[in-house]
Structure 1
Amino acid sequence: MKKHFYLLALLSLVYCTKEVKNSSQVTATDSLMLNSEDSIANESNQIEKEDLNRAQTLETLNNEVISTLKTKDFVRFSKYIHPEKGIRFSMYGYVQPKQDKHFTRGEFIKYVPTNIKFTWGEKDGTGDKLVLPIKDYLTKWVFKKDFKGAEYHENVFKGSGNSINNLKEIYPKADFTENYIPGSEEYGEMDWKSLRFVFEELYGTKYLVAVINDEWTV
């Protein structure tokens, strides 16, 4: 009888040990899965937060640049120009890096108060050259419409015409904003206007590298 008692006691001990071990393994596995899920959730939240901050920064920059153009405060406008890459102005949606007018920040500051004229490109339809001082180009061409109350879009093209839009090819890693004024029924909505700002980052700060006007072309 004693032998049977000891044998039963031994079997019970082994069984209990296995149960405890299995329970510990399950608990450890569950804990690992929970930690992994928490990590993924935290990463997702961090990405969402970064995207939100980036979006807010872009909209703020866009509105500030618009304000400088509306008030003709070109000295303040110059502070948004990229310190290393400068700024390029494109008359239409098709960017031509070798032909579109480009200035360093220093050149812009130097020439904007003057009446020195520059050739900005050719007008669609007539082929006439647009020759103006910087300040006149900004007021008569860039801000030809009051974009202060325009529709705001981030990294999305709203204005779409019959010309090629190669912004993403020329500035593949940049963020851009679009200020869009819809066309009127009177002109079959073909008189829409868009003003786009292209931003690139330097040492954690976004700067303006391009100003692109767009509209329906012939």
Structure 2
Amino acid sequence: MKRLLISMLVLGLVVACKKEPGKPVPNEIDTIARINPDSAKVVKNDTLKMAGLKKTNDEVLQTLKAKDYKTFATFIHPEKGISFSMYAFVDPKKDKHFSKAEFEKYQPTKTLFTWGEMDGSGDPYKATINDYLGKWVFSGDFTTSQYSQSKFIAGGNSLNNLEKIYPHKDFTENYIKGTEKTSEMDWKTLRFVFEEFQGKYYLIAVVNDQWTI
């Protein structure tokens, strides 16, 4: 009789522990299976974004190296246009800004624009669009430079306020290390600020940086 009661008790516990039809008992494997697809999706999207920015960054550099400024213009934001900063400090009131249409209009011409002031002398830097892009913006072969995304590699004594002026924007940096002859003080860096528009990344700012006096 005692054995029969024990058997019935054990049988009751087994039945009670069985999962209800259609209601799987949560466990570690089930939890991982439910979480991983979403996590993987986030990682995938971040990876695609990083790859997209890198690809666009490199394409812009190639247009500058080839002095193909008509193709460069296709990367300018259709609505916000593009701004150029000679040094790390971005000044929206003084930096040269073009709408996409203005850039395309004046790029082939010999029209001189004032892009900013030279460090040290304070003299205005005047040049055509082509000369500014060829001599100032692409002052070194940035296609072989060190690349960084949303992180600064270089920094000098000029205030870098890019993130303050362009908060929550995606930016890239292309850095050329200085030479030993100058104790690496002749480094150069070229930063691009991007904004997504209709599924594509466009330039809204080009910022150069280097050691200043």
Q: Secondary structure at the match of 2:212?
A: coil
The answer for the alignment partner of 1:65 in structure 2 is: 60
The structural deviation recorded for 1:23 is 2.7
Q: Secondary structure at the match of 2:62?
A: helix
Question: Structure 1 residue 165 and structure 2 residue 149: aligned?
Answer: no
Question: Structure 1 residue 212 and structure 2 residue 207: aligned?
Answer: yes
The structural deviation recorded for 1:11 is 7.9
What 5-or-longer segments of structure 2 have no aligned partner? none
Report the Cα distance in structure 2 between the residues aligned to 1:203 and 1:191, rounded to whole angstroms.
39
Question: Structure 1 residue 186 and structure 2 residue 172: aligned?
Answer: no
How much identity, in percent, do the aligned residues show? 48
Q: What TM-score, normalized to structure 1?
A: 0.89
RMSD: 2.0
Q: List per-residue Cα deviations over 1:127-171 (Å, max 9, x = no partner).
A: 010011111110111011121211111111111101111111111
Match of 2:38 among 33, 37, 43: 43
Question: Structure 1 residue 81 and structure 2 residue 76: aligned?
Answer: yes
Structure 1 segments of 4+ aligned residues over 4 angstroms from their partners: 7-15
What 5-or-longer segments of structure 1 have no aligned partner? none
Q: Going by fraction, where is helix more abundant, 1 or 2? A: 1
The structural deviation recorded for 1:202 is 1.1
Q: What TM-score, normalized to structure 2?
A: 0.91
Q: Secondary structure at the match of 2:26?
A: helix
The answer for the alignment partner of 1:177 in structure 2 is: 172
The structural deviation recorded for 1:20 is 1.2
- Paired letter, 1:30: P
Comparing 7-16 and 151-160, the one that deviates more: 7-16
Q: List per-residue Cα deviations over 1:87-111 (Å, max 9, x = no partner).
A: 0000001111111011111110001
The structural deviation recorded for 1:215 is 0.2
Aligned residues: 211
- Paired letter, 2:102: E
Larger radius of gyration: 1
Q: List per-residue Cα deviations over 1:1-60 (Å, max 9, x = no partner).
A: xxx7xx9878855652442122327x83335x5333222222221122112111111111
